[in-house]
Structure 1
Amino acid sequence: MEHPHLPGPRRRQRRGGAGVTTLETAGPQLKRGEKTFDVNGGTVVYEILGKTGEFIALTPGGRFSKDIEGLRPLAQALVKGGYRVLLWDRPNCGKSDVQFYGQSESHMRAETLHALITGLGIGPCILAGGSGGARDSMLTTMLYPEMVRKLVVWNIVGGIYGTFVLGSYYIVPSILAVRGTGMQGVIHVDEWKQRIAENPANRERFLATDPDDFLKLMLRWLNAFVSKPGQTIPGVDDEMFDRIRVPTLIIRGGENDMDHPKRTSLEVNCLIKGSTLIDPPWPEDAWERASEARASGKVKRFNMFDTWVQAAPAILDFLGR
């Protein structure tokens, strides 16, 4: 399926009179083990953990990078279990280029992950993801079923509150900015300032984007987060779940988790025929308690994914069947 890509250069580097790349146009500073892969006119930063075994593409939530606290301990536990793990900065996350196209942001990520796995020659493989990464992994499996061997998801977002929060947090600030002061305003949105800090070339990509096209795209992405009948997860029609025919493990949401409702996990379990649903290996109120710890200032870092490593034994058991 073709998508209307918004204009944006591919990490072009502008050189001054002395032939030196300016800081404003330089790409990201890669650390040991990180590599890049070009997808749809943008660069994706990734790394592979482990030397042998089947591949697991592991995806976090939100617009968090592959280096978000809590993700790597889970990846390392899976490596110890005999697997290789692909960690990747999705478009608009971490050090990767910003990109804006597709029916929703998750559709863009699914297309990117398919291209990355295919280009690296590591498919078919296992997909695993939590929160937004669960949605990305499920949608990738729906759109590219031949690429997936097994699927593992947890902290699935759903419900009126869960989806409304995503739209208001990730989309609305960009809409307000571009309507107010164009793309110059967009680059001053806190989240996009972080993307530019990690990859200075993103500033030029933003400024090269037509503001009217950007607004149209943001409104389309916002629509995906409007709760609709027949869409258990945002932006994806329930009938699409029929395409998931691989062994699937679902770790349900906590009893009172409003962001990742227990109800949503149960509905997804019904929609994916033959899927396995298990109780969370962490406390029922782990998400709420972690959120309170951050809000109260008791914890000064991101702690919301700290419990994810506790899922490793259940994941390894499922994958070993």
Structure 2
Amino acid sequence: MADAEVEVNGGVVVYELIGPSDGEVVVITPGGRFGKDYGGVHELADGLAAGGKRVLLWDRPNCGRSDIQLFGRSESHMRAETLGLLLDELGIDRVVAAGGSGGARDMIVFTMLYPEKVRKLATWSIVGGTYSTMSLAGVYILNELRVIRSQGVEGIIKLGGASGFGWAGLCEANPRNADRLRAIGDEEFERVMTRWLDAFIPKPNEAIPGVPDFEFAQIAVPTLIIRGGEKDYDHPKRTSLEVHALIKGSRLVEPPWPEDAWEQAVRATTEGRGSLFDPWAQAVPTLLEFIDE
């Protein structure tokens, strides 16, 4: 189907459904502040749809063409709540929750908050560890705090940055967003960003940013974890092993892409030859086998 919109918690969410109408619904959640149309996402969705799945792609708040939203304990918690309400609006009872990179964190939190809505959980490229976590503080929060304190919301509206992360791009893709930021205002924007920053302060009891280890005990669904690459500094192997240890009964599998696939994708993207998530389509056979078991 073509893109559709639904209002959730006072903000519009853009989504689409791909694949047979009678297929089991699989939600794919990418990482960063990248939308559903970023390279590699549709390729993964098309592969799962060819395997008989009904794939839900969505622009999370602060991604793609959906409305900007600022609420919740962390950005991942906000997105998890948004997905729960989106599924209610669409009349979808249960899904297979699948996500990579920041989307892995979003889907882990979603499964914790809405266990009744998740039949299975699949994650890959999980962020964790000191370098990765502190790097994301810079990607998501620190520039925002500098700009809001020195230039106010008008500065945020013009704030660019790495592809997929700029508020200027969000305002260009969705003209409502500039006015939404003005309505939020300087004080509230700074207050929320300061709260969200806490998720990216490395803590000894958090394998992944903003999620205390004890909360993983809430996950009781079959879970697949694709191991992080040996050379993947943004999604380290160690973190996938820690998450595997924290989710009782989870299955850890070898990556279906090269150990340095992320670094290759970063290099290619920098050179204008591809997208960060291009390798993800290689996971289609692994994911279909897990879903169909």
Q: Same fold (TM over 0.5)?
A: yes
Equivalent residue for 2:48, pick from 78, 84, 98? 78
The residue identity in structure 1 corresponding to 2:196 is W
Q: Structure 1 segments of 4 or more deviating over 2 A?
A: 292-295
What is the CA–CA distance in structure 1 between the aligned matches of 2:131 and 2:15, rounded to whole Å?
32
The residue identity in structure 2 corresponding to 1:315 is L
What is the CA–CA distance in structure 2 between the aligned matches of 1:83 and 1:289, rounded to whole Å?
29
What is the CA–CA distance in structure 2 between the aligned matches of 1:301 and 1:187, rounded to whole Å?
28
Which of 1 and 2 has greater Rg? Answer: 1
Q: How does 1:164-243 map to 2 (within 5 A)?
A: 164-190=134-160, 191-243=166-218
2:4 maps to 35
Q: Any unmatched runs of 5+ in structure 1?
A: 1-31
What is the CA–CA distance in structure 2 between the aligned matches of 1:192 and 1:33, rounded to whole Å?
25
1:24 maps to none
What is the CA–CA distance in structure 1 between the aligned matches of 2:75 and 2:274, rounded to whole Å?
23
C-alpha contact 2:144 2:156 (8 A) present in aligned 1: yes
Equivalent residue for 1:47, pick from 10, 13, 16? 16
Q: How does 1:79-228 map to 2 (within 5 A)?
A: 79-190=49-160, 191-228=166-203
Query: How many Å apart are 1:170 and its aligned residue?
Result: 1.3
TM-score, with normalisation over the residues of structure 2?
0.96
Identity of aligned residues (%): 54
2:282 maps to 310
Secondary structure at the counterpart of residue 181 of structure 2 = helix
Describe the superposition over 1:122-146 as per-residue Cα deviations: whole angstroms up to 9, x where unpaired: 1211100000000000000001101
What is the CA–CA distance in structure 2 between the aligned matches of 1:143 and 1:207, rounded to whole Å?
30
What is the CA–CA distance in structure 1 between the aligned matches of 2:275 and 2:69, rounded to whole Å?
27
Describe the superposition over 1:182-234 as per-residue Cα deviations: whole angstroms up to 9, x where unpaired: 11111110101100111001111111122111111101111111111110000
What is the CA–CA distance in structure 2 between the aligned matches of 1:294 and 1:243, rounded to whole Å?
37
What is the CA–CA distance in structure 2 between the aligned matches of 1:207 and 1:172, rounded to whole Å?
20
Query: How many Å apart are 1:292 and its aligned residue?
Result: 2.5
What is the CA–CA distance in structure 1 between the aligned matches of 2:202 and 2:119, rounded to whole Å?
30
The residue identity in structure 1 corresponding to 2:8 is V
Equivalent residue for 2:29, pick from 56, 59, 74? 59
What is the CA–CA distance in structure 1 between the aligned matches of 2:42 and 2:159, rounded to whole Å?
28
TM-score, with normalisation over the residues of structure 1?
0.88
Secondary structure at the counterpart of residue 184 of structure 2 = coil
C-alpha contact 2:229 2:236 (8 A) present in aligned 1: yes
What is the CA–CA distance in structure 2 between the aligned matches of 1:73 and 1:187, rounded to whole Å?
31
Which structure dedicates a bigger proportion of its chain to helix?
Answer: 2
2:248 maps to 273
Count of aligned positions: 287
Query: How many Å apart are 1:152 and its aligned residue?
Result: 0.5
Which stretch of the first structure deviates more once superposed, 39-48 or 114-123? 114-123
The residue identity in structure 2 corresponding to 1:112 is T
The residue identity in structure 2 corresponding to 1:69 is G
C-alpha contact 2:13 2:61 (8 A) present in aligned 1: yes
Secondary structure at the counterpart of residue 209 of structure 1 = helix
Cα RMSD between the aligned structures?
1.0
